Amino acid sequence: MDGNGRWARARGLPRVMGHRAGIKSVRAVVEAAREAGVEVLTLYAFSVENWKRPPTEVSTLMRLLNEYLRRELSNLMRNEIRLNVLGDREGLPKLVQQQLARVMENTASNDRMILNLALNYGARAEILQAVRQVAEQVKAGKLKPGQIDEELFSRFLYTDGQPDPDLLIRTSGEQRISNFLLWQISYAELYLTPKLWPDFGKADFLKALSEFQHRERRFGA
């Protein structure tokens, strides 16, 4: 979800206004995904690299996240959406951790769609964590090196039990992956749009799905 800052700058507004506008796009895309029958939607909300941003911006983002979680719980329940987090939750502010735990607990039995929020997330960190866990299993004698395959390794990732993404959408015209789900998107189709995230709405999301439907997927064959 890229382009909040540029959206605000183009209008002579502070960056926080871009982030607030971006929340409206989150609501629109989540609703569109739910109506279209998408099983899993993952939103890259805050990366491990984002901590390098100015402290005031980081604190604002955390406040907006807390606000979003508090306000959206009723919508998640009404639409039978289960919230899940990809990333290191313990590195987030305590209030955010508590709000996430509350929403995840309340939505745990919802089964129409999974909404993954990638928070304090980085794909390299995720893979390294999985490698360490597998190594510990081998060291403890619970696994043999020959037992390690793609299916087993995937169980140690944050997305354990979920299908790999079919489609990766990137806004704002950027053409890079930015440390996002590197293992999982091996065969995902890419959809790049010049639209900034706050301008990306339901119609744009459906357009991306429509284009995806016309792709021929070979999976290396």
Q: What residues act catalytically?
A: 2, 50
Under 8 Å between Cβ of 64 and 46: no
Q: What's the CA gap between 93 and 7, in Å, rounded?
A: 27
SS3 per residue for the chain: CCCHHHHHHHCCCCHHHHHHHHHHHHHHHHHHHHHHCCCEEEEEEEEHHHHHCCHHHHHHHHHHHHHHHHHHHHHHHHCCEEEEEECCHHHCCHHHHHHHHHHHHHHCCCCCEEEEEEEEECHHHHHHHHHHHHHHHHHCCCCCHHHCCHHHHHCCCCCCCCCCCCEEEECCCCCCCCCCCCCCCCCCEEEECCCCHHHCCHHHHHHHHHHHHCCCCCCCC
